[in-house]
Amino acid sequence: MSTAAARPKPLNRQLSWFSSAAGFINTDHAAAAGLRPGLIIGLFYFNRPLKLQDLRYAIRERLLPLPRFSQRVVDDGKGLSLVDVEVDLTHHVCEVEQTSAWSDTQFNEWVASRHHPVHALDVERPLWQVRLVPRLEDGRCVLVFLVDHCIGDGTALVAALLSLLDGGGTLGAPPPRRLAPPEVGPWARLWQCVSGVFKGLHDPLLPADPPNPLKQRDYMAPEGDKVVAQSDAVPLELIVLG
């Protein structure tokens, strides 16, 4: 079975200012400044083991038709854009090697380590990965989704990842339709340009946020270690997207 994604019609798209800001953190300039990419991590727990080939098949059929999962970020000189590329699922979807089942503490430490620069997503490929952790001490396995923030926000990514599942919480669903981006008229483009310039001139003049427990200095500095804490798992049937 081939793990290469079927290539749809090429579709190039300019990133929004927010996605461009998130994508910029993946560039060499940001890396030299010690910035870390905005990584979104999603966890799916399964009571029964999963087969890697079945997982790759489900992702190829259901996730890759969503344009941003089969595109990489490039700098075309006018800003950051997304361009279609071939997706190698043997790189993007892999099983984690374990010598024994992991405890919750060991698993959380492994998840936290994904934020370290040595595990940064490859900017020459689409900015996402899926890792299958086959064994926890309680008998479950975990799908770990690592997605760069420039691909989408948390709510949109939850909807995209849930498309991998059917009502019974197993891998299976018809693939989503691949839609071209809406046409943007000249007046809308002019407004986006004017509002962007205004925001760029106005925001630096705003006073700094007051100190608070949620704000830390140099929170993206390389020397800071990430830790992971998580609540109990949420049953799939309780997840409702409005």
Looking at mean pLDDT, say which of 1-10, 25-34, 193-202, 218-227 comes out highest. 193-202
Residue 176: inside a domain: yes
Distance CA 10, CA 83 (A): 8
10 pLDDT band, cuts 50/70/90, is very low
The answer to whether residues 166 and 173 touch, using CB atoms and an 8 Å cutoff, is yes
- Across 74-91, average pLDDT: 81
CATH number of domain containing 140: 3.30.559.10
Residue 215: inside a domain: no
Domain range enclosing 55: 13-205
Structurally, the chain folds into a number of domains equal to 1
Distance CA 206, CA 147 (A): 31
Residue 207's beta-bridge partner residues?
Answer: none
Residue 72: inside a domain: yes
Does the pLDDT of residue 175 top 60, yes or no? no
Mean of the per-residue pLDDT values of the chain: 74
What are the pLDDT digits (tens) for 216-239? 555 444 555 666 667 777 776 676
